[in-house]
């Protein structure tokens, strides 16, 4: 019986498929790539045959990305980025030190990263910063695809989380704690309304951040405040409208320029000014006796017995220092 070997991934063909998706048609992609349309069509056909899936459906209006095609191209983009990073790193004749960070979407994590870049502009260092949900962060650290992970976790789950990470030989350390807040624009009707309640929130539209796969990550830029994490507190079906956005900067614009609101967190006990956005404590109903059950903490994680790059220690220091600083969203 003939043993099947592993498939060799053709990075060039993946780049072609990504360009087809970006361009919206075979003809447009062929022009940008300076190759024939028939050749691109053959690449699509061969790829679909090799991986037993349909990447694009074809009709008179052109190409439409299928659900399996969307997942395939998301992973293809990661592979292409890694291949480009590999080539760029090792084709240069200089010492190379890397720091790979994977984080849950967080303005705090981004602030620490940009602070590190400002103060450590060393050409011999290569940085990588990606955002994933909590499961993706843990998976990246556990499988050696990241040196350092940053995640938000519920405080009430701390004992179970400790056991979970211990069983995977992952160090698990708290940077700081956060609490549930409302985010809205400067001058929003709720901002100056004394004693507003949860019922008042339902009179407005809600905006939620989600990833490109359609999975709601959190209310705005930090934490896990959505219909999955707050089922006993907030009824998301009662908002006038819930809009889901995949780009944090667009989400900020929506908040700043409309009366939409969002759920998010901030450093416990610290005011958090933002560019045109204000933050108010969440109006917990009187029936909620333990408001702390909805608090989260920001943790950084890394593999035990695996030395962290020196730059990681610098990043951790900046991250933990945010406990005493005000940060814009």
- For the whole model, what pTM was predicted? 0.62
Residue 129 is inside which H or E element, if any?
strand 125-131
pLDDT at 115: 85
Structural domain contains residue 60: yes
Select from 298, 257, 327 the least CA-distant residue to 105.
Answer: 298
Say whether both 225 and 80 belong to one domain: no
Structural domain contains residue 248: yes
Q: What CATH number is associated with residue 33?
A: 1.10.10.10
Say whether both 284 and 182 belong to one domain: yes
Structural domain contains residue 219: yes
Residue 316 is inside which H or E element, if any?
helix 310-321
Structural domain contains residue 265: yes
pLDDT at 239: 93
- Which of 89, 117, 151 terminates a domain? The answer is 89
Provide the domain count of the chain: 3
pLDDT tens, residue order, the chain (329 aa)? 444 555 677 889 999 999 999 888 888 888 888 888 889 999 999 999 999 999 998 877 778 889 999 999 999 998 888 888 777 666 655 555 678 999 987 778 888 888 888 877 655 677 889 988 888 899 999 998 899 999 988 888 888 888 899 889 999 999 988 878 888 898 999 988 888 999 999 999 999 876 554 444 443 333 344 444 565 688 888 999 999 887 777 888 898 899 999 887 765 334 345 467 888 888 988 777 677 777 788 899 999 988 888 888 889 998 988 765 433 33
Say whether both 133 and 218 belong to one domain: no
Q: How many whole angstroms separate alpha carbon 117 and alpha carbon 315?
A: 9
Structural domain contains residue 1: no
Say whether both 55 and 111 belong to one domain: no
pLDDT at 181: 85
Q: How far is CA 121 from CA 37, 114, 126, 327, in A?
A: 44, 11, 10, 22
**Contact indicator for 275, 328 with CB cutoff of 8 Å:** yes
The SS3 call for residue 296 is strand
Q: What CATH number is associated with residue 318?
A: 3.40.190.10
Say whether both 96 and 171 belong to one domain: yes
**For residue 304, what are the contacts with CB-CB under 8 A and spacing of at least 6?**
169, 170, 171
- Which of 47, 69, 89 terminates a domain? The answer is 89
Largest Cα–Cα distance in the chain? 77
- Which of 68, 89, 110 terminates a domain? The answer is 89
Structural domain contains residue 166: yes
pLDDT at 302: 95
Structural domain contains residue 67: yes
Say whether both 45 and 101 belong to one domain: no
Say whether both 194 and 100 belong to one domain: no
Say whether both 82 and 100 belong to one domain: no
Structural domain contains residue 172: yes
Say whether both 211 and 273 belong to one domain: yes
Say whether both 218 and 273 belong to one domain: yes
Say whether both 55 and 127 belong to one domain: no
Q: What share of the chain is helix, strand, coil (3-state, %, to 5)?
A: 40, 25, 35
8-state DSSP, 8: P
Q: Residue 152's domain spans which residues?
A: 91-176+296-324
Say whether both 167 and 223 belong to one domain: no
Long-range contacts from 68-74, C-beta under 8 angstroms, 24+ separation? 70/213, 71/213, 73/17, 73/18, 73/21, 74/212, 74/213
């Amino acid at each position: 019986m003939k043993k099947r070997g592993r498939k060799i991934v053709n990075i060039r063909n993946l780049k072609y498929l990504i360009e087809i998706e970006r361009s919206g048609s075979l003809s447009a992609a062929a022009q940008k790539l300076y190759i024939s349309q028939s050749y691109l069509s053959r690449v699509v056909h061969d790829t679909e045959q090799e991986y037993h899936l349909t990447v694009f459906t074809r009709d008179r209006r052109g190409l439409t990305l299928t659900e399996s095609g969307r997942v395939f191209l998301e992973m293809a983009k990661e592979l292409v980025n890694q291949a480009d990073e590999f080539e760029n790193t090792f084709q240069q004749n200089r010492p190379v030190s890397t720091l790979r960070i994977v984080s849950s979407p967080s303005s705090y994590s981004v602030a620490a990263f940009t602070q590190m870049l400002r103060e450590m502009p060393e050409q011999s260092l290569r940085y990588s910063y990606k955002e994933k949900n909590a499961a993706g962060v843990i998976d990246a650290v556990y499988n050696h695809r990241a040196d350092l992970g940053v995640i938000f976790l519920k405080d009430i789950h701390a004992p179970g989380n400790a056991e979970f990470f211990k069983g995977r030989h992952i160090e698990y350390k708290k940077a700081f704690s956060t609490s549930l807040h409302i985010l809205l624009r400067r001058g929003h009707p709720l901002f100056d309304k004394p004693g507003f309640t949860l019922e008042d929130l339902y009179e407005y539209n809600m905006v939620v951040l989600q990833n490109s796969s359609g999975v709601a990550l959190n209310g705005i830029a930090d934490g896990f405040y959505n219909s999955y994490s707050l089922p006993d507190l907030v009824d998301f079906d009662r908002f006038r409208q819930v809009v889901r956005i995949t780009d944090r900067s667009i989400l900020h614009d929506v908040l700043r320029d409309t009366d939409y609101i969002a759920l998010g967190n901030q450093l416990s006990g610290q005011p958090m000014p933002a560019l045109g956005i204000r933050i108010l404590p969440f109006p917990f109903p009187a029936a909620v006796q333990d408001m702390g059950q909805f608090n989260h903490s920001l943790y950084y994680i890394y593999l035990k017995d695996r030395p962290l790059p020196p730059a990681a220690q610098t990043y951790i220091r900046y991250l933990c220092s945010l406990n005493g600083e005000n940060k814009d969203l």
